[in-house]
Structure 1
Amino acid sequence: MADDIQELSPEQANLLAVYGGAKPTAPDWFTAVVETPFEERFIEVEGARVRYQRWGSSGKPGLLLAHGNGAHAHWYDFIAPYFAEDYCVVAMTFAGMGDSDWRERYSVETFTKEQLAVCEDAGLFAHEQKPTIVAHSFGGFITMHTGSKHSDKFAGIMIVDSPVRPPDDEWEGPPTRPRGNRIYDDLTSALARFRLAPPQPCENHYIVDYIARHSLKHVEKEEGGEGWTWKFDPFIWRRFDAMDKPSEMLMGITCPLTVMRGEDSILMGEKIWSYMRSLRGDMAMVSIPGAQHHVMLDQPLAFVTAVRAQLAAWSVSA
């Protein structure tokens, strides 16, 4: 397992540069699944429009999918349809990211309000069976807070590659950005600069390309002309209020809890994995072989299988 951040060359980090704006060839299963229709909705939460997507019937148990830092609901376009036969599946986009509005200030409390509001609007709380949350990375920390305050509203929570560090290795958060997002002259140039954060190689370039295209927006330049830039708020961490310690939030969850990681994740090495195990002996811990931090990009079908297995296990024990 890797415990240190990888040093990648520009060629390794900029995975799409070699394609010159063309789409990498995708397998049939991926092409078919991302064409699955979904409903798109926007709701207002604390003055900001929050976007979400919904697959499946509202008469089925709810499954809420939450993304990582700087990401968006489209990270689940190739995951969510696999659950739509049995669940009403909702993938949300947090404020400050994707096509949701930016805020003047951000807080874990407001992000929790967004999760609850999306569940309410999508009808996930209306079913006799409580909904489940699956949350990746940054979304996992938000969900720890949501779970620590509102466990009674959920059937279970799965946290995916969200490291809870020991006291002697606490993370101070990502560095704040000194300037806004760059505007590129054309889509090809923007795609060539897309990088995963934290940086890592990924063999599935067709997935990276798909999420990269959904991470960009067409804009007008101040000096005239048009270009492309990233959708996320570059100053989100400068405007983010402090949150509770992740260890305390994790310990506060009282509904069924599972923690997953990419087995080769640079953020979830053995020291952190062991520490998390020491905090909660009652939670399931699952490693996805061949996956790094961005588990659903590296091993999408194995990720689907792991989530299905956990949902089935909870259903049997309920």
Structure 2
Amino acid sequence: MNTESPIAHHPSAPAWFNKALAVPFEDKTVMVEGCPIHYLHWERPGKPGLLLVHGGGAHAHWWTFLAPFFTDHYSVAALDMSGAGDSGRREAYSAELFSAELMGVCADAGFDDKPIIVGHSFGGFVTLNTGTLFGDRLTGVVLVDSPVRPPDYQWQHQRNRAPVRPKKIYPDFETALARFRLMPPQECDSDYVIDYIGRHSVTEADGGWTWKFDDQLFRKFRFGDMTEALKSLQCRVGVIYGDRSQLFTQDIADYMFEVLDSSVPFVAIPEADHHLFIDQPLPFVAALRALLAEWRHSRPNRGG
């Protein structure tokens, strides 16, 4: 079993944060299509499965301080997809391989009875693709600030930033940690969260320290138009986004709502940008818990 120590040098960390990090979990690894996939598991035998999926350049520990809020009703896992965190790297990446990783973790964690998958940003697109491929084996998917854009979307309205920048080598751990930034950039008042995530983002390398993610991933892989995937979902789906997100605008929310149907909940988290569960972690937890509670006590109108 593993637990995280409270971040002593950030006395502003609230009690709920340190309490969540003190909840034990297990580090596990499963082989999926020849690649070791690492994940964290807050096992609750007999409870249905809930899988949490990180965004681009991120890792499983973005969820460590949130996962314990869901263990009353779920056995929870958070994975490192290939090319991220403590999982292996691939020569080539594909949407099908990422989806196989999600389902491989679900199987290894014992999530046999239609788990729910929650994905943030890039992880939301992987989650969406997994719902189209394996929807009959899932209760539902939740897309967290994962904007499915119209085919004619005007990209000049978005900031021209690569999802993952080339990595640098830093001389020591503290120098690397000091360079940790959210991408896309946004302000964040929760220094204790940034410090915690940053400490799990770096690793030793030849000549110093660098980031864990594979900076070649997005040179080898791209998602295409996701509209057809959104239309074809047969399992339940929910959408949570930041109402200040520069990626998930109201026009995109309106478009996705039109592609889906009135049975799909859309929840905007107030005062939250793209990294909404860093901006507003407890409002995010409340929104996701409410959505999951509704799914537990209602019959699906679509798929499921």
1:168 CA displacement: 1.7
Any idea what the Cα deviations from partners look like across 1:3-54, whole Å, max 9, x if unmatched? xxxxxxxxxxxxxxxxxxx646311211121121101101111111100111
Q: Does 1 or 2 have the higher relative contact order (CA < 8 Å, sep 6+)?
A: 1
Q: Does the aligned pair in 2 maintain the 1:264–1:289 contact within 8 Å?
A: yes
TM-score scaled by length of structure 2: 0.90
Q: Deviations over 1:117-155 (max 9, x none)?
A: 000010001x4xx21111100010011111011111111
Within a 5 Å distance, the mapping from 1:35-114 to structure 2 comes to 35-114=22-101
Question: What is the CA distance between 1:196 and its match in structure 2?
Answer: 0.6
Alignment of 1:62-211 (within 5 A): 62-125=49-112, 127=113, 130-169=114-153, 175=162, 180-211=166-197
SS at match of 1:123: coil
For the Cα contact (< 8 Å) 2:25–2:41, is it kept in 1?
A: yes
1:58·1:124 contact (CA, 8 Å) conserved in 2?
no
The one of 226, 230, 247 aligned to 1:246? 226
Deviation, 1:203, is 1.1
- Measured on the aligned residues, the alpha-carbon RMSD in Å equals 1.8
Q: Distance in 2 between matches of 1:27 and 1:193?
A: 24
Q: Where in structure 1 do 4 or more consecutive aligned residues deviate above 6 Å? A: none
- Is the Cα–Cα contact under 8 Å of residues 163 and 183 in structure 2 kept in the other structure? no
Greater shift, 48-57 or 104-113, is seen at 48-57
Identity of aligned residues (%): 47
Of 217, 239, 243 in structure 2, the residue corresponding to residue 263 of structure 1 is 243
TM-score by length of 1: 0.86
Query: Is the partner of 1:237 in helix, strand or coil?
Result: helix
How far 1:99 moved relative to its partner?
0.5
Equivalent positions of 1:272-291 (< 5 A) are 272-281=252-261, 282-291=263-272
Spell out, residue by residue over 1:99-120, the C-alpha distance to the aligned partner (whole angstroms, 9 max, x if none).
Answer: 1111110011100000010000
1:313 equivalent to 2:297? Answer no
Is residue 31–residue 37 contact of structure 2 (8 Å, CA) maintained in 1? yes
Q: Name 2:209's counterpart in structure 1.
A: 228
Give ranges in structure 2 of 5+ residues lacking alignment.
Answer: 1-8, 300-304
